[in-house]
């Protein structure tokens, strides 16, 4: 059922990703203008991600009727399939953001989705099926949902579950999202729908991120008052200044509980670029332009945390071990599962972008 109140009015808040989770959702890729070679390489990568997560929590994969048999062939038998209409496979952005209350109840939020910019700079059209996915999943989960009155994607927000929300000005204040809203008005909506009390605005997201700078490519909250930040020491890399501007904001901010924020610098891979044979396998379209030599938005921060397990993108043999070691030192009680995901990166994101967690509910 669609509710006419707000989560804050009803006592619901946005739990942290490191809080207990009971399930994860993905969607099966098939767009030929985003995934090369009829999406076959991407499907193999998505299947490996889904199968690995399914070892920790139950996984459900949304899939089209045309792709159901292929998905069933590649996915573990215990991974559930749900036939559903959608436009592309970025479940973080099209799936529901789940909020919880102290009684263990769950409700979903269906953000307005316009393919990361609508008519201004959106990546594809139509996006009408994507805009309905969150409601459909809430119906499948048999939970009520809120229909937010503004455009937002799940990849644009990170929380500590204790009142602090992290985002970027580049994304939430972009002209393709909510051009009629001020920053203060957006903050009020975030408070109303996520139950947060403080927003920490970082200036920009990862360099060349085609989502207008989603936070989940730049930063990941791994504990209250503790984040990892995409980083490079190469002064000639455009990311160099972006990361330092983000660090300046973080070290000069207090979170919602008046804590200073510990920042762990996580190296970016590469830089990585789209190869000629990879670009040749993508069907050209108006919104998503893919060309050989294009800088890819590679980031180790785009991992998923589920019940003390980190599912980490494996992107560059030179930096993969360093990223894994830094995360293991920061979270010694966590298991880290590295998964090769270049094929996901070619589509514009990574493991965090293609997943959406369903929390167990209860106090966080």
Q: What is the pTM for the complete model shown?
A: 0.97
Q: What pLDDT score does 60 carry?
A: 98
Q: What pLDDT band is residue 330 in, cutting at 50, 70 and 90?
A: very high
Q: How crowded is the C-beta side of 284, counted as CA atoms within 13 Å?
A: 4
164/153 Cα distance (integer angstroms): 17
Label residue 363 by pLDDT band (50, 70, 90). very low
Contacts for 359 with CB less than 8 Å, ≥ 6 apart = 15, 19, 20, 21, 22, 98, 100, 106
Q: How far apart are CA 56 and CA 24, in angstroms?
A: 10
Per-residue pLDDT band at 364 (split at 50, 70, 90): very low
Position 289 confidence tier, pLDDT thresholds 50, 70, 90: confident
Pair of tokens at residue 290: 């893919």
Q: Is residue 156 exposed (0-12), middle (13-18) or buried (19+ Cβ within 10 Å)?
A: buried
Please count the CA atoms within 13 angstroms of the CA of 241 that sit on its side-chain side.
2
The C-alpha atoms of residue 364 and residue 361 are separated, in whole angstroms, by: 8
- DSSP assignments along 35-84, one per residue: STGGGHHHHHHHHHHHHHHTTTS-EEEEE-GGGHHHHHHHS-TTSEEEE-
Is 317 labeled as catalytic in the residue annotation?
A: no
Q: Which domains does the chain have, with CATH numbers?
A: 12-359 (3.75.10.10)
Mean pLDDT of the chain: 96
pLDDT above 80 for 287: no
**Residues for the chain: how many in total?**
364
Q: Decide if pLDDT at 116 tops 90.
A: yes
What is the mean predicted confidence (pLDDT) over 335-347?
98
List 138, 171, 317, 353, catalytic entry: 353
Residue 199 has pLDDT above 50, yes or no: yes
Q: What is the pLDDT of residues 66-103, one digit of tens each?
A: 999 999 999 999 999 999 999 999 999 999 999 999 99
């Amino acid at each position: 059922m669609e509710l006419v109140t707000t989560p804050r009015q009803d006592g619901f808040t946005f739990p942290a990703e490191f809080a207990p989770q009971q399930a994860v959702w993905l969607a099966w890729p098939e767009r030929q203008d985003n995934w090369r070679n009829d999406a076959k390489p991407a499907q193999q990568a998505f299947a490996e991600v889904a199968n690995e997560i399914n070892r920790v929590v139950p996984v459900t994969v949304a899939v089209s009727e045309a792709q159901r048999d292929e998905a069933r062939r590649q996915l573990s038998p215990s991974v559930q399939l749900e036939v559903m209409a959608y436009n592309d496979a970025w479940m973080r952005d099209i799936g529901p953001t789940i909020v919880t209350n102290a009684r263990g109840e769950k409700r979903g939020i269906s953000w307005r989705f316009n393919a990361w910019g609508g008519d201004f700079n959106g990546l594809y059209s139509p996006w009408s099926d994507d805009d309905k996915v969150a409601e459909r999943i809430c119906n499948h989960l048999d939970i009520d949902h809120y229909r937010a009155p503004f455009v937002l994607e799940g990849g644009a927000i990170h929380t500590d579950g204790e009142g602090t929300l992290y985002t970027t000005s580049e994304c939430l204040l972009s002209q393709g999202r909510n051009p009629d809203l001020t920053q203060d008005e957006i903050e009020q909506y975030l408070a109303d729908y996520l139950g947060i009390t403080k927003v920490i605005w970082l200036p920009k997201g990862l360099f060349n991120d085609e989502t207008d700078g989603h936070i989940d490519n730049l930063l990941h909250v791994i504990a209250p008052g503790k984040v990892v930040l995409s980083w490079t020491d190469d002064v000639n890399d455009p990311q160099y200044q972006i990361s330092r501007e983000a660090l300046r904001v973080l070290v000069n901010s207090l979170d919602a509980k008046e804590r200073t924020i510990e920042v762990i610098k996580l190296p970016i891979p590469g830089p990585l670029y789209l190869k000629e044979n990879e670009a040749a396998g993508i069907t050209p379209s108006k919104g998503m332009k893919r060309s050989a030599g294009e800088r890819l938005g590679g980031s180790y921060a785009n991992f998923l945390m589920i019940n003390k397990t980190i599912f980490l993108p494996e992107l560059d043999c030179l930096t993969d071990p360093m990223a894994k070691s830094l995360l293991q030192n920061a979270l010694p009680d966590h298991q880290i599962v590295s998964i090769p995901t270049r094929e996901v990166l070619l589509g514009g994101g990574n493991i965090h972008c293609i997943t959406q967690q369903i929390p167990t509910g209860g106090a966080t």
